[in-house]
Amino acid sequence: MNSTPEPAQQQRTKPPLSEAAKASLARTHTLFRMFVVSVLGAFFVYQLDVNYLWLTTILTVASLVLGVLLLVRSARLRESRLVLIGTISGLVVSAILVLLIVVTAVFFDEVRTYQECVGRALTDQAQSACRVQLERSLPTQLP
């Protein structure tokens, strides 16, 4: 039933990393942490208020730059598969944020008016009225 463990000589072990490889891995992990913070920061700042759209834009641009840097670094050095998957996922979120930023910038006044209305709305009926007001202020057909 129980299998005996393999002898120590036959087990696969990774060779110890050199100091340069350790420094490279530490730098990649630091860049990845900065990337995650910038993506999450951009997402949460966008949720706060439309008046902080400039900060969301700065954080999104930073996350795109860090993401591309990490993709190149991860592909070139083949350091960590988890970093590669996380970077690709974060870049997808950043691309969606770029689309949201562009749409919000185009309809900035309408979105700001809607946010102010919803901030004052205390009932579901008032929130529904805000939604209707937003729908009426947006163009019905795109040219």
pLDDT, tens only, 22-49: 777 788 888 999 999 999 999 999 888 8
Q: Nearest 5°: phi and psi at 2?
A: -85, 130
Tokens of 19: 């100091």
Q: Is residue 4 included in any domain, yes or no?
A: no
What pLDDT digit, counting tens, does each position of 82-114 carry?
Answer: 888 888 999 999 999 999 999 888 888 888 888
Same-domain check for residues 98 and 119: no
Work out how many domains the chain is built from and give that number. 2
Same-domain check for residues 63 and 112: no
Q: Is residue 44 included in any domain, yes or no?
A: yes
Full domain range(s) for residue 102 = 23-106
Instruction: Spell out the residues 6+ positions from residue 86 whose beta carbon is closer than 8 angstroms to its own.
Output: 32, 36
In this prediction the pTM is 0.72
